Structure 1
Amino acid sequence: MRDKGEFHPSIPCVSVYVNIWRWPRCVMVSVCDEELLGKVLREGDLVFEVNEKFYKGSRMTVEEALVHLRNCNIANLVGEKIVEAAIKEKIVHPEAVIRIAGVPHAQIVRM
């Protein structure tokens, strides 16, 4: 049985939503852990909405989402599963992660 937040690349699971936008010179990807979709994270004056219009694309495994993250120019990630996996795969630096109401969030911009 998997612990919450553990990444097991050999065990496929539907656990994240991935939305992809493509333009001629840019690909943007947003990924959120499945259970966060539609939630609002609040910490002090900060309000972060895991908006369905922005994050709800295809449901897929964390491993499949990582493929898209490796090939995009801009990314927005929220949730323990996807952020932890992106750190393990060296897509996101651990110091680039912030926490909002205890939930990890990271952004990627590649020029």
Structure 2
Amino acid sequence: MILNERRTEEGLLVSVCDPDVLGETFEDGELSLTVSEEFYAGDEVDEAAVVDSLRRASVANIVGERSVTVAIDAGIVEEANVLAIEDTLHAQLLRLG
């Protein structure tokens, strides 16, 4: 999985994606998701690093079947809140307070 962390005034912004979706655009009706290299490119890491980063995140964007499944299995994202867009999965995380 590819992981990118950015420090912002609001906290830690994390983007995670599967390598095979980087640079792709997915569409479903009026929904469109572009997995841009500018936003998602980072380091290729293992599941433990992804889980650690997501647990520390204030905001996260997660794209791809494997990446989203890791977040679900770790209890970070609820499966009911995952979007299926074309042939990939997408989840967002926002921690308040």
Q: Same fold (TM over 0.5)?
A: yes
TM-score w.r.t. the length of structure 1 is 0.81
Partners of 1:60 and 1:100 in 2: CA distance: 24
1:17 aligned onto 2:11 = no
Structure 1 residues not aligned, in runs of 5+: 1-15
Structure with greater proportional helix content? 2
Sequence identity (%)? 35
Larger Rg: 1
1:39-86 Cα deviation digits (max 9, x unpaired) = 111222322110000000111112211110011110000011111111
Query: What is the root-mean-square deviation of aligned Cα atoms in Å?
Result: 1.2
Aligned partner of 1:31: which letter?
Answer: V
Where do residues 1-111 of structure 1 align in structure 2 (5 Å cutoff)? 16-111=1-96
Q: After the TM superposition, which parts of structure 1 deviate over 4 Å for at least 4 consecutive aligned residues? A: none
For normalisation by structure 2, the TM-score amounts to: 0.92
Structure 2: give runs of 5+ residues left out of the alignment: none
Aligned residues: 96
Q: CA deviation at 1:25?
A: 4.6
Report if aligned partners of 1:62, 1:81 keep a CA contact under 8 Å in 2. Answer: no
